[in-house]
Structure 1
């Protein structure tokens, strides 16, 4: 039986006179690598912030891993998040920050060494977060998101600042993660990434969901994903 890990009905959000999200109905099932595509300003990050308990919607409802998003603390504790803009405590070292994450999540810190090694940050363990490059900050954020082995992780443009070798390593990890029955919600405007990784894709433009389907289903509307995407967002 399919299990919905994300379920939304009529989610809407307005900033001033700008409608960032309009009546979003979305279902993501367990084990999916779900791609959430759209141009800049389409509503992707707003959607993620709502679904991860960081921002209340103006209307509508949603549940994540069976948890009502109104229970924002429980949602944040359950999921993993790699935000588009990574902000880390400037006064903490890499290790201190990951120890802090473990403390907040009430988990043992024995996974820190694994993630320092995986993200190739072992030599930067005592570096203050403020002194890290943007790519290193993104890797720290990735480690923090997966530290508690979440059943669902939200990735908002997660490959933007990491080098190609680390991108390849992260993509391989995510494919294995999905094989374990976990779920990835990937927000991106890079079509090639979505085409290679995602089992199902939704396209949003100007706050409105325009289509949802598998790659094969979407390609019935055009010769490639780029053509389908451009036809929908223009």
Structure 2
């Protein structure tokens, strides 16, 4: 079943076509990777699909909802892990997760995420005093703890140490294996090759190619440069 559908999706900023007639479908139980150079439109695509930004034209449905019109309702059923966005600096890690629990209407179970992402001491500190990697762990936890149907991820492993990177990848894979969907933008070709079921190459606001045989992605990607 398709959980994301875009038909001729377009978005413009100051006469620059950030997205140009983008069309695709995503089924439940997939990890989709979006690769492309800086400025290709990857982050804009995630923001439009997740209801953070309105499109200019075209049709979009995510879990059967129009993100422009039903964004608040849609965000009850999705998770969002933005690129380089931190928790509020004046809250402790625990206060931030409690806040996320309140708006999601779901309980944050400390023990599970403390163990998986080594959050222990991070929950008791003001997030301003946490390292970039520690803040990123909190952002991963807030994206997945409520068991959303779809998680939109932008550069997920930034600032994480190798051990937490491996655990984060397991979380993404388990979410897929449980029937959830992950829609992930990344510059890391090896990550897309390891995790993704399909990959969209974006350039100049367009999806220029879809790759289903991702095991040879590095060879294909670098040959195309």
**Does TM-score exceed 0.5, indicating one fold?**
yes
Q: Counterparts of 1:188 and 1:8 in 2: how far apart (Å)?
A: 20
Q: Counterparts of 2:19 and 2:220 in 1: how far apart (Å)?
A: 21
Size of the alignment, in residue pairs?
224
Runs of 4+ residues over 6 Å off in structure 1:
none
1:81 alignment partner in structure 2: 80
Q: Counterparts of 2:160 and 2:100 in 1: how far apart (Å)?
A: 22
5 Å-filtered alignment, 1:137-148, equals: 137-148=135-146
Q: TM-score, normalised by structure 2?
A: 0.94
1:126 alignment partner in structure 2: 124
3-state SS of 1:23 partner? strand
Gap regions ≥5 residues in structure 2: none
1:56 alignment partner in structure 2: 54
Q: Counterparts of 2:100 and 2:90 in 1: how far apart (Å)?
A: 15
CA contact (8 A) 1:7 1:26 kept: yes
Kindly state the Cα deviation for residue 228 of structure 1 after the two structures are TM-superposed. Answer: 2.7
Q: TM-score, normalised by structure 1?
A: 0.91
Q: Counterparts of 2:94 and 2:32 in 1: how far apart (Å)?
A: 31
Q: Deviations over 1:180-223 (max 9, x none)?
A: 1111111111111111111111110111110113126xx8xxxx
Q: Counterparts of 1:227 and 1:169 in 2: how far apart (Å)?
A: 26
3-state SS of 2:124 partner? coil
CA contact (8 A) 1:33 1:198 kept: yes
Q: Deviations over 1:163-193 (max 9, x none)?
A: 1111111112222221111111111111111
2:63 alignment partner in structure 1: 65
Q: Counterparts of 1:201 and 1:78 in 2: how far apart (Å)?
A: 23
1:202 alignment partner in structure 2: 200
- Compared with structure 1, are the counterparts of its residues 34 and 190 closer, same or farther at alpha carbon in structure 2 (3 Å cutoff)? same
More displaced 10-residue stretch of structure 1: 169-178 or 3-12: 169-178
Kindly state the Cα deviation for residue 130 of structure 1 after the two structures are TM-superposed. Answer: 1.2
Kindly state the Cα deviation for residue 69 of structure 1 after the two structures are TM-superposed. Answer: 1.0
Gap regions ≥5 residues in structure 1: none
1:187 alignment partner in structure 2: 185
2:221 alignment partner in structure 1: 229
Q: Deviations over 1:139-161 (max 9, x none)?
A: 10000001111111111110111
1:15 alignment partner in structure 2: 13
Kindly state the Cα deviation for residue 76 of structure 1 after the two structures are TM-superposed. Answer: 1.6
* Alignment RMSD: 1.5
Kindly state the Cα deviation for residue 112 of structure 1 after the two structures are TM-superposed. Answer: 3.1
Kindly state the Cα deviation for residue 108 of structure 1 after the two structures are TM-superposed. Answer: 2.5
CA contact (8 A) 2:193 2:218 kept: no
1:98 lines up with 2:97 in the alignment:
yes
Q: Counterparts of 1:69 and 1:199 in 2: how far apart (Å)?
A: 24
